[in-house]
Amino acid sequence: VIFWVYPALVFNYSLIGTRVAVWLNITLCLSVWYLAGSWAEWPLWPRIVVTMAATGFFSHIFSSNIDRQKQALVTLATIDPLTGVHNRHELQLELMKACSQQTRLGTPVTLLVLDIDFFKKINDTYGHIKGDEVLVEIAKLMGKRLRTADRLYRYGGEEFLVLAGGTDADGGRILAEDLRTTIQNSRPCELPGITISLGVAQYAPPESVSEWLHRADEALYRAKANGRNRVELASSGSG
């Protein structure tokens, strides 16, 4: 019977997770060692102790490595490697959750779509490395101004998106103005004249996620067409 303990020490990690498996395996080993001490002869008992301890130890190392690899994959799938904010692969699911929350509970949620003004000129003038540094710095500046209920995403290129939970259109416009003035007054990477334009759209049931995004994009385009470095509120939704 004692030989069934060895595969259990290995499979516990895959069945119940690393943290719980550590304590279960320790308890299992101590119990077996105590019981074995009453019947196993002296040359056998220490062998049981050593081999079970080694099996549990190496199983823990293997399971911990698997956990780290899983976390690395999750990070690659959800985090933008340049700026460290969420990427667009995670965005679609979060937008659907936000729509469902407002539809079911009436909790408002607002989308801010923002673009760095004349970003191509920054790349052309200072180089793409400096352009990447600007993206990183702007992401950090915005992250410091956002609340815990807000999520920041890099939507693509120089475009970012903020999902502001529990916020209506007016609150979203206030948040957008705060972000705009923060960037304007902070001189990211010590470069002059860096500004952002923003479009703000509160979700309006029963519109789809794509319709919501489209309204926010339209507001952003209007902000850029009207002179940039400004905030525009989207037109009313279909709801």
Its sign, for the CA torsion 180, 185, 186, 190, is: positive
Does the structure show a pLDDT above 80 at 239? no
Mean pLDDT of the residues in the chain: 87
Does the structure show a pLDDT above 90 at 156? no
Highest-confidence segment of 6-10, 97-101, 102-106, 109-113? 109-113
Asked if 79 and 136 count as a contact pair (C-beta separation under 8 A), the reply is no
pLDDT bucket at 171, cuts 50 / 70 / 90: very high
pLDDT in tens, 33-52: 777 767 666 677 778 788 88
Which of 168, 134, 162 is closest to 147 using CA atoms? Answer: 162
Establish whether 137 is a catalytic residue: no
Portion of the chain with pLDDT greater than 90, in percent: 46
Of 94, 137, 158, 190, catalytic: 158
Minimum mean pLDDT range among 58-62, 163-167, 201-205: 58-62
Distance, in Å, from the CA atom of 135 to the CA atom of 81, rounded to the nearest integer, reads: 12
Starting at the edge strand that comes first in sequence, how are the strands of the sheet with 86-87 ordered?
86-87, 150-156, 159-165, 109-116, 196-202, 231-233
Pairing of strands 196-202, 231-233: parallel
Which pLDDT belongs to residue 51?
87
